[in-house]
Amino acid sequence: MTATRRIAFRIAAVLAGLILAVAAGEVIVRLAHIRPKQAKVHAPPTPDPDNPLGTRTPLGRLGPSGSRTRIVFIGDSFTYGLGVENDQTFAYRIGVLLEQARPGRYMTINLGRPGDDLIGEWTLYNRVRDLISPQVVVHVLSPNDMDVDLYRDFVPIKDLYVGRLWPSRYSRLLDFVEGTIRAAATYPPTLDYLRGGSSPQARRRAWVIVRHEIESMKGLVEAGGARYVLVRFPFLLELRDYPLENVHRRLAELAARLDIPYLDLLHVFRGQDGDAMVLPNDDHPNPRAHEIAAAAIAEFLINVVLDGVSATSRTAGPIRRDPAEIAESDVRHYREILNLDPTCLSARHWLNQTIPPKKEHAPQP
């Protein structure tokens, strides 16, 4: 055998080995049903004609509370319970636990709404506060509540995470390899996004707006005669070597300074297996995580918040406002944020929703 033929034979053997290895890997991946983690895009909730606000509890069907103390939960998709049934959400389960502990005394209302940020949550509560007139408002913050720009920084991360090159569309093995690489590439920017930005300047900017919204929500709640409570969910995928301690510590310090009853669920979930706390291919809480959160929040409410609070108790007399006054307070609030930071996309969005920008008309011929 000549030297050329020996080299060609070795190259062919290597290629054949690679092909067999890839084929074997493809078979193993398919038989084991191995797939990389991918961000799951949930379909939006089906529109409900009786609930145009899009909250979990339809306010159009909200009956009289009678002698029951109304406890409102406000937040985003974590509070709404995206991906789980209503009776599996922590807000519903808290109602069950409170009924078991103190029968007939409490009514829970879930105003969680998917996609809301802190500005959207303030807006929702400002518009329904006088209708509901609760005694307690539990404001639940999720990991991405440092975002004040309508997911601008998250969209490219998600697009990179879920994207695939064309060979991966036909090979489970290549799909797994590419998905694993993409997951590793998007992890650092995801943490930066949850911190409020990739630079100290961006994080300071986000915190200024977040702090303003918490202070404003507290003032809005207390002006309506209710007690304001703050709860923070951790990033459930990283519960053992937690990377966002500074965000939690800063929020705890703010709550202490403002004398807000505050529960950090990081201490409840720490050490848990993160994958066992979230939905498949998602970072939203699964039913088990909702149950754990419900038990902790219910205990906190009973031990810290609810004593002395009843259906007739008020921290101040409720102030009833007409629609024009509510709309005026909306506009004033958004302009306060834009005075702090003119680049805040969320405040600009809500201001434009309330006062649509004037259209430029073409000159008449």
Burial state string for 233-256 with b = 16 or more CB within 10 A and e = fewer than 16? bbbbebbeeeebeebbebbbebbe
204 and 191 in a common domain: no
Alpha carbon distance 249, 252 (integer Å): 5
Residue 56 lies in a domain: no
Is residue 3 in a domain? no
pLDDT of residue 48 exceeding 80, the answer is no
- The rounded distance, in Å, linking the Cα atoms of 268 and 300 is 12
In this prediction, residues 155-167 reach a mean pLDDT of 87
Residue 57 pLDDT: 87
Q: How far is CA 42 from CA 37, 93, 115, 324, in A?
A: 15, 23, 11, 36
Domain count, the chain: 2
Distance from C-alpha of 46 to C-alpha of 309, rounded to nearest angstrom: 36
Range of lowest pLDDT (95-109, 239-253, 302-316): 302-316
Supply the DSSP symbol for 58.
-
Q: What is the pLDDT of residues 225-240, one digit of tens each?
A: 999 999 999 999 999 8
For the beta carbon of residue 32, count every other beta carbon within 10 angstroms: 9
Q: In terms of domains, do 208 and 328 share one?
A: yes
* pLDDT at residue 163, rounded to an integer: 86
The whole-number pLDDT of residue 10 equals 55
Give 39 or 331, the one with higher predicted confidence. 331
Task: Decide: 35 and 175 in contact? Cβ < 8 Å.
Answer: yes
In a domain, residue 233? The reply is: yes
Average pLDDT over residues 147-170: 89
Query: Mean per-residue pLDDT for 80-103?
Result: 96
- Is 97 in the same domain as 172? no
Compute the C-alpha angle 262/228/98, nearest 5°: 80
238 and 269 fall within a common domain:
yes
For the cut 50, the answer to whether the pLDDT of residue 39 exceeds it is: no
Sequence-distant (6+) residues with CB within 8 A of 354 are 327, 330, 331, 334
pLDDT value of residue 327: 95
314 DSSP assignment: -
Task: Provide the residue type at 131 as one letter.
Answer: L
Whether 40 is covered by a domain: the verdict is: no
pTM of the model: 0.87
Question: Comparing 99 with 169, which gets the higher pLDDT?
Answer: 99
- Whether residue 82 lies inside any domain: the answer is yes
- The whole domain housing 187 covers 154-196
- Per-residue model confidence as pLDDT tens digits over 315-347: 665 568 999 999 999 999 999 999 999 999 999
The pLDDT assigned to 320 comes to 81
Q: pLDDT band for 150, please (50, 70, 90 cuts).
A: very high
Residues 223 and 242 reside in one and the same domain:
yes
